[in-house]
Amino acid sequence: MTRTVTVQVPGRVCLVGEHSDWLAGMGGGGCGYAVCAATNESIECRATSAPAALPTLTLTSCMTAEVYSGAIDRARFLAAAKSSSFYAYQLGVMATRLFDLLPAQTSLTLDNVAMTLPLKKGLSSSAAICVLTVRAVNLLFALGLGVEEEMDLAYLGERNTASLCGRMDQCVAALAPGDAALLEFSPHGTVRVTRIEPVPRPVYVLVADLNGKKDTVSILASLQAGARAHANVRALFGPKSEALCGKFVAALKVGDALELNALYARAQADFDAVAAPLCPAELGAPLLHKALEAGRAVGAFGKLVGAGGDGTAQFVCASQRDRETLKRALANAGFRSWDLTLAATRRAPGL
């Protein structure tokens, strides 16, 4: 019998605490901490299964004319995950333990029918597609996987590719658009996701597309090498990041946009001083700093998103009116932007 399910997964913005996830995973220290929020932008997948004597996996997307179609074979999936295929992340997921849970003599089609989440902008599109793949298969075949299992399989799937990701981005499995959460990463590879509430009043975030390019793999490789070699890099993504997250959560819980703004400015300054010199070609980020300057001109301090570089920037505004003012300033500087409003009225599906 043919079955179909439709699944939607948002992206994420790391508000503060970038790179703390992989640092914790390196060992030799304590836990890592980050504060993340789920975006309004998302990816939607329609998954279909059908009986087949010779089962195949078919992957299609509204973002490309490329189609993947081949036998359901773990070795083939793993090899393709290492390639430059548009579907490398999904194939990496299919090569995890998820492969062992697929029913026999059943073909699977995953069609990414809608995508408002931009690619290569620091909004975790790769993690979102990995979580989307796990969740689509989970729901289609009623596997009964919990959110933590979905997050783990998505992480392992992305690591099957060339990605050097940590365990932060898979939090999109546990969050709904507009939710904010504190993430705790243990040295043993576990992640605790705690939704932040109450948020007494809306917090107006603006995410700006820098219209540039970034090489996340290169950035992560450089920063991880730097962390192994330099104590100040470990301090930036370790103890300093933990302290920053604590202050950020406290300000978020009382809706103090001015304090959040100041914390953004401090986080960016520290990153520029310590981390940016490790990968100047990427983290010099002239477009990022152009956008930050446009924000400062109207009283809004911003910071990088994700790994850093010229992907996206983020700002916190005190009001909807201030956000509209900032949006116009950024547009005048050549950058389009998206609203993200953090509020306590939403319910996170996994928490």
Alpha-carbon distances, residue 3 vs 46, 138, 153, 270, 283 (angstroms): 10, 13, 23, 51, 46
pTM of the model: 0.88
SS3 189: coil
Same domain, 181 and 230: no
Domain membership of residue 186 (yes or no) is: yes
Asked if 49 and 183 touch (Cβ cutoff 8 Å), the reply is no
Domain membership of residue 351 (yes or no) is: no
Position 163 scores a pLDDT of 86
Residues 131-141: tens digit of each pLDDT: 999 999 999 99
Q: What is the residue range of 263's domain?
A: 203-342
**Which of 300, 294, 1 is closest to 140 using CA atoms?**
1
Residues 32-41: tens digit of each pLDDT: 999 999 988 9
Asked if 259 and 267 touch (Cβ cutoff 8 Å), the reply is no
Two structure tokens written together for 65: 């004319």
DSSP 129: H
For 146-186, the three-class secondary structure string (H helix, E strand, C coil) is CHHHHHHHHHHHHHCCCCCCCCCHHHHHCCCCCCEEEEEEC
* CATH number of the domain bearing residue 147: 3.30.230.10
More confident residue, 216 or 88: 88
**Which of 139, 131, 175 is closest to 157 using CA atoms?**
131
Same domain, 207 and 177: no
- Quote the number of domains for the chain: 2
Same domain, 111 and 255: no
Query: Measured between alpha carbons, how far is 151 from 167 in angstroms, rounded to an integer?
Result: 8
